[in-house]
Amino acid sequence: MVLSNSETNRWPNLAGARAVVEVLQAAVGKAAAHLASSPTEASQTVSYDLASISSAVAAAAELLDHGAAGQAEADLALLYAADVAADLAGRMAGRESLWGVDSSALDSVAGHVAAGRDPAFLDRVAERVLATREAGPRHLSDELQMVRSTFRGFAEKRVLPVADRIHRDDEDIPADIIDGLADMGCFGLSIPAEYGGCAEGGADELLSMVVVTEELSRASLGAAGSLITRPEIIGTAIARGGTEAQKQRWLPEIAAGEKLCGVAVTEPDHGSDVAGIATSAIRDGDDWVLNGVKTWCTFAGRADLLLVLARTDPDRTAGHRGLSLFVVEKPSFAGHEWRVTQEGGGFIEGRAIRTLGYRGMHSFEVRFDGWRVPAEDLIGTDSGLGRGFYLQMQAFANARLQTAARAVGVMQSALELAVDYTQQRSVFGRALADHQLTRAKIARMAALIAACRTFTFAAGRAVTAGDGQLEAAQVKQLSCRAAEWVTREAQQLHGGYGYAEEYSISRLFVDARVLSIFEGADEVLALRVIARQLVKP
C-alpha cells in the first residue's frame, strides 16, 4: 500500500508505521536469504526467531491497511509496528552475523519506533480502549456485523452463564448449547451450500467462521469456541478428497449438527510428527481393520464421527505416503470414559485426559482394537489410499485459521475484563486504570489484538484463494502466543483475585496456554512450515 499525500498529512502515525514496516520487511527478507544457504535444522534458534518475527511483520503490514481508516487505527498501527521493531532488535542483539542483518538496520526508523513506544502515546491509545472496551474499530460489513451480533447474543445468553462452572467442574458441554448452535447453522459455516452448509464461494467465504469463532471463544474456549474446529477439519477433508457419494452422505449431517465430530490423528509417540504415526489399517475383505492408540482426541466421546489417520501401507519406509483417512462412525457418549464393541470382538474405548484448562470438550486417549471399518468409509475410497497426510494438512489450514480466531476471542474477553476491573479497583488512592503502567499494558493489549484480528481476516481470504498455508500458520503462531501474553497481563492486573477461580480471568489464562500447543505446535509451525517457506528460493 502506498499512502497518498493527504493520508500522510492527516495520519502522520500511519506514515511512521509504514516506514517501520518496510524496514522490518526488508530485514526479514535479508535474513531469510542469508539462512537459505543453511539447513533449517542447523540453525533452529535463528530460524525460530525469524519465523516468529515474520508472522508479526505480516500482521503489522495488514494493520497498515486497517490504519488508513482513522486516527485510532493509525495509532494502533504505529504502536504495534514499533513493538515488533523492538522485538526484532532484541532477537538480533549479539547475533547479527547469524541473521545476516547489520545492527544498524533499524536506525533509519528509530524516531518512529521511539514515538510508537512513548508512554505518553500509549496513554492516549489506552484512553480510547478504556472508553470502548475494544481494541479498535472493526470495520465489518453489514452482513458480518449482523453475524457477530447474533452469535454474541447467543454466547452471552447461553454460554457465559455456565462457562466458569463447566471449567471448574470439568463438565460436559450442555446439550442446549450444541443444539442451539446447530439450529443457527454453526457447524456448516465452511461446508458448501450444495451439501447443506453455508459456504457459497467468494473471497470472503471463511470470514463468517472467523467472526463466529471469535464471539463464541470470547464467552468460552472450552464450552463453545472450539465446537466448530472438528467439523472444519473433517468437513474440509471430505469436501476435498471424498467421493461424491461420501459428500452426499456425510456433509449434510455434519452441517446440520446431526453428527458431531472428533479427530484422531496424534499418537502417544507421534505428536507433531504426523508422518510417523503407527496406527494400522489392514484390508480384510470389504473392511479395513484398525489397531492402535490415538491421543488428544478432543470431543471424541460426544462425537458420532471420528476422522482417523491410519497407516494403510505396512511398509514404514513409505512415511507420509502410506497414510489414509477414515471416517469412523460410533455412538455418542457423555462423560469421561466410554467403550463401544462390534460383533466379532472389535472395540474402541476412550479415557479423558485431565487438563489445566480447555475443559468441556474433553480430550481423550482412544484405543482401536480390531475395529472394522467398511471400505467405503475410507475418504476417496481406493483413490484415497496414501492421500491421508495431504488431505489432513489441507484441512489443518482451516483449523489453524479457526484457532487464530479462537485466540482473538480469548484475548478480547481478557481485555474487557482488564478494562472493567482496573476502572473499578482503587490502588493508592486512585483507580488502577489511571496509573501509567496499567494504561501502557492495556494499550499494548489492544494493538496486539487489532493486529491479530486483522491478520486473521487476511489469512482467511488467502486460505480461500487456495494459497494460504503460510498465512494460516503465521497467524496461528502469532495469535496463540499473543493470547498467552494478553491473558497473563490481564490476570496480573487483577492481582490476587486473578488467581481465584471465581474470577473468569483465571479460566482465560489456563485456556490460552493450550492454543500454542494444538493444531500445530508453536515450534513445529515456526521451523517446519514458516521458516521453510521463507527460505525457499
* 393 SS3 class: helix
- Number of neighbours of residue 213 by Cβ within 10 angstroms: 31
* Cα–Cα dist 527/534, whole Å: 10
**Which bin fits 337, alpha (ψ -120 to 50), beta or left (φ > 0)?**
beta
HSE of 152 in the Cβ direction (CA atoms, 13 Å)?
Answer: 11
Which set of grid coordinates corresponds to residue 141? 460489513
* Cα–Cα dist 189/460, whole Å: 13
pLDDT band, residue 344 (cuts 50/70/90): confident
| DSSP-derived secondary structure for 329-366 | E-----SSEEEEE-TTS-EEEEEEEP-SS--SS-EEEE
At residue 478, does pLDDT exceed 50? yes
* Cα–Cα dist 113/415, whole Å: 24
- What's residue 480's pLDDT? 97
Q: What is the CATH number of domain 261-389?
A: 2.40.110.10
202 vs 129, higher pLDDT: 129
DSSP conformation class of 38: S
Query: Going by DSSP bridges, is the β-strand pair 337-341/323-329 parallel, antiparallel, or unpaired?
Result: unpaired
At residue 204, does pLDDT exceed 50? yes
Which set of grid coordinates corresponds to residue 350? 476412550
Q: 5-117: what fold?
A: Butyryl-CoA Dehydrogenase, subunit A; domain 3 (1.20.140)
Q: Tell me what the pLDDT averaged over the chain comes to.
A: 92
- What's residue 11's pLDDT? 67
* Cα–Cα dist 348/337, whole Å: 11
* Cα–Cα dist 58/56, whole Å: 5
**Which bin fits 185, alpha (ψ -120 to 50), beta or left (φ > 0)?**
left
At residue 9, does pLDDT exceed 60? no
Burial of 201 from C-beta contacts in 10 A (0-12 / 13-18 / 19+)? exposed
* pLDDT tens digits, one per residue of 32-49: 999 988 766 668 999 999
- What's residue 263's pLDDT? 94
* Cα–Cα dist 385/325, whole Å: 8
Measured at the CA of 330, the angle between CA 293 and CA 170, to 5 degrees, comes to: 70
List every span in the chain annotated with CATH 1.20.140: 5-117
* pLDDT tens digits, one per residue of 435-463: 999 999 999 999 999 999 999 999 999 99
* Cα–Cα dist 484/301, whole Å: 28
Burial of 157 from C-beta contacts in 10 A (0-12 / 13-18 / 19+)? exposed
Query: Going by DSSP bridges, is the β-strand pair 426-427/430-431 parallel, antiparallel, or unpaired?
Result: antiparallel
Determine the distance from the C-alpha atom of residue 306 to the mean position of all C-alpha atoms in its chain, rounded to a whole number.
Answer: 21
Residue with cell 477461580: 501
What is the four-CA torsion angle of 86, 91, 92, 94, rounded to 10 degrees? 110
pTM: 0.94
* pLDDT tens digits, one per residue of 59-92: 999 999 888 888 999 999 999 999 999 999 999 9
Residue with cell 471465581: 502
- Number of neighbours of residue 42 by Cβ within 10 angstroms: 9
At residue 6, does pLDDT exceed 80? no
* Cα–Cα dist 498/191, whole Å: 40
* Cα–Cα dist 493/433, whole Å: 9
Which set of grid coordinates corresponds to residue 261? 465430530
Query: Which residues belong to the active site?
Result: 519
Q: Which helix (H) or strand (E) holds 176?
A: helix 175-183
Measured at the CA of 18, the angle between CA 85 and CA 129, to 5 degrees, comes to: 75
- What's residue 494's pLDDT? 97
List every span in the chain annotated with CATH 2.40.110.10: 261-389
- What's residue 42's pLDDT? 67
Residue 350: phi and psi, rounded to 5, are: -135, 145
396 vs 281, higher pLDDT: 281
Residue with cell 467398511: 374
| DSSP-derived secondary structure for 288-312 | EEEEEEEEEEETTTT-SEEEEEEE-
422's CB contacts (< 8 A; 6+ apart) are 130, 431, 432, 433, 438, 442, 493
